[in-house]
Amino acid sequence: MLGVIARVGSLNGQRVAIIRALVRVDPGEPSEAKLQARVVTKAAETLDEDEILVFDAGFKVRELQEAGLDRYEVRLAKNFTARRNVVPPYQGHGRRPEYGELVRPLIRTRKGKCIPATPPDREETWMKNGIKFRAEFWNNLVLPNVKVHPDNPTFHVVAVYDPRYREP
């Protein structure tokens, strides 16, 4: 297994990957998870101040936060969930909440039942080359198992809808 870290550039108008580093699997720990952790660490070392790291769907927000990254983009799984970093109002009975509201950016079906998506905090639309795009945004989120705290590392989720594709 091999991890590739590349900068995206162009040559004669064609997008190309300019390889910055190759990360080999550790023979002593040849798991994909260990390789991904090594790729994240190495990518963080190569990041310039005006750059952002972009990761494929195999990477997890938790891994990126644990590596200390504060600028990244990662394609999330369709069933991704997060929580708001704000405690919901107390309902007057039972234990006071410690976790924020669960946020599910995309609708999901499980065991034949539809689980609705959480309404976005805001939406934006724009036109490019005659195509209308739409984006939904959820802000100030934390991982699902994290209790609300002002010092939590937060992130934003954006679902981009492109009419050329069936799913965001």
pLDDT in tens, 94-130: 999 999 999 999 999 889 999 999 999 999 999 999 9
In this structure, are 86 and 160 located in the same domain? yes
Q: Give the total residue count for the chain.
A: 168
Instruction: Annotate the chain with three-state secondary structure.
Output: CEEEEEEEEEECCEEEEEEEEEEECECCECCHHHHHHHHHHHHHHHCCCCCCEEECCCCCHHHHHHCCCCCEEECCCCCCCEEECCCCCCCCCCCCCCCCCEECCCCEEECCEEECCCCCCEEEEEEECCEEEEEEEEEEEECCCCCCCCCCCCEEEEEEECCCCCCC
DSSP bridge partners of 47: none
The two tokens of residue 100 are 């924020």
pLDDT of residue 109: 87
- pLDDT recorded at residue 68: 85
Low-confidence residues in the chain, pLDDT < 50: none
Residue 11 and residue 44 in one domain: yes
Note whether 85 and 24 are same-domain residues.
no
Measured distance CA(56)–CA(5) in Å, rounded: 11
Domain interval for residue 156: 81-168
Q: How much is the pTM?
A: 0.83
For residues 136 and 70, membership in a common domain is answered with: no
Task: Count structural domains, the chain.
Answer: 2
64 lies in the same domain as 86: no
Q: Which token pair is 148?
A: 């609300």
Quick one: pLDDT at residue 26?
Answer: 87
**What does the pLDDT read at residue 98?**
94
Q: Are 86 and 65 within one domain?
A: no
In this structure, the answer to whether residues 168 and 94 fall within a common structural domain is yes
Residues 1 and 69 occupy one common structural domain: yes
Give CA–CA dist 40/35, Å, rounded.
9
Boundary-marking domain end, from 21, 46, 75: 75
First to last CA, the chain: 29
Same domain (yes/no): 95, 161: yes
Same domain, 37 and 112: no
What pLDDT score does 30 carry? 86
Is 168 found in the same domain as 85? yes
What pLDDT sits at residue 29? 86
Query: What is the predicted pLDDT for the residue at 110?
Result: 86
Last residue in a domain, options 75, 97, 123: 75
